[in-house]
Amino acid sequence: MTETPQNFAESPDALPDAATLAALDALSEILETVRLRGQAVTRRSAEAGVPVRVPPGKRVLHILERGTAEIRVDGETGGTTAHSGDMVVLARGDGHTVTPAGGAARWVTGSFLVDEPQAAPLLSVLAPAIHIEAAGPSRDWLPLSLNLLLVEVTHPRPGAAAMISRILDLLFIHALRAWSTDTAAPGWLTAALDPALAPVLTAVHHSPAAPWSVSDLAALASMSRTTFTDRFTRRLGQPPAAYLTGQRLARAATLLRTSTIPIATVAHQVGYDSEAAFSRAFHRHYGTPPLRYRKGENPARP
């Protein structure tokens, strides 16, 4: 958080129009923030008992075409057993193994690309493995998506890469919707589905550099400052100021790695009126100064 007491930052940007914010969808805005996009699909098969290793750092989903497989995430007790038609999404990028059980199995693996500095803290709140059962309610989209993917993989035509990317994006969104109905864990997804807090998340992700105060955000939620702060903290697992600061610094990390604009300009673009205040906040959050982070000199992850 910057060192301005009445606002989270001093910025020349005006607060976004409330009508504009209300027209935006919080979940879509957050997915746009992390720049999630489907990358590619591979088709795999293995005999019973033969593990297939997926190293850490790969954000993937698996859909079983046939057979049964157990997916074990590194460091987690137990595993997830997926049957024919089921999908398992591993959005956090945890290393894991896929082991067919009871006979040979075949599955497709879809991979995703994200904007890592901004995606890491957001996707970390998800379950290590999100299991979507084909036999679950309202799951017609799952076999349809699998069939569409198989057509593009087995009989590729012009535009196949774009088709695969779009289908993977849709599968990810479906997985989040399905998972959110079965969990009450604090995090951005819980808040994004909260009608009162959704406009607040939309505002923060759409315009993180705006001079938001707690009162401004509470007004978007149509709540008193105290009620809003309590509800936001319970849904997100952290207070509004901490969440806003994290989003600003994640945006700064992306700018530092993807552009050559001066650090003072980066500070201004994410809502800090002082390069010194920005540098102190960035160092506390990432464990390294902005310049060293830009050079890739052992940046620490928050």
Question: In this structure, which topology does domain 34-180 adopt according to CATH?
Answer: Jelly Rolls (2.60.120)
pLDDT of residue 11: 42
How many CB atoms neighbour CB 210 within 10 A? 19
Q: Superfamily assignment of 207-295 in CATH?
A: Homeodomain-like (1.10.10.60)
C-alpha–C-alpha distance, residues 212 and 244, integer Å = 9
C-alpha–C-alpha distance, residues 85 and 102, integer Å = 16
pLDDT of residue 237: 86
DSSP assignments along 174-193, one per residue: HHHHHHHTT---SSHHHHHT
13: exposed, middle or buried (C-beta count within 10 Å: 0-12, 13-18, 19+)? middle
DSSP assignments along 216-251, one per residue: HHHHHTTS-HHHHHHHHHHHHSS-HHHHHHHHHHHH
Q: Can you tell me whether residue 158 is helix, strand or coil?
A: coil
Q: Can you tell me whether residue 75 is helix, strand or coil?
A: coil
Q: What is the pTM of this model?
A: 0.72
272-297 residues labelled b (16+ CB within 10 A) or e (exposed):
bbbbebbbebbeebbebbbeebbeee
pLDDT of residue 242: 93
Q: What is the largest CA-CA distance in the chain?
A: 64
How many CB atoms neighbour CB 153 within 10 A? 15
- Ranges of H-type helices in the chain: 18-22, 26-33, 116-123, 141-154, 160-180, 188-192, 198-206, 214-220, 225-236, 240-258, 263-269, 275-286, 290-295
Per-residue pLDDT of the chain (302 residues; tens, 9 = 90+): 444 433 444 444 566 655 455 445 777 777 777 788 899 999 999 988 889 999 999 999 999 999 999 999 999 988 999 999 999 999 999 999 999 988 889 999 999 988 877 787 778 878 899 999 998 777 889 999 999 999 998 898 999 999 999 999 999 988 888 887 665 566 777 787 788 888 898 888 888 899 999 999 999 999 999 999 999 998 888 999 999 999 899 889 989 988 999 999 999 999 999 999 999 999 999 999 999 999 886 554 54
Locate CATH 1.10.10.60 in the chain: 207-295
Locate CATH 2.60.120.280 in the chain: 34-180
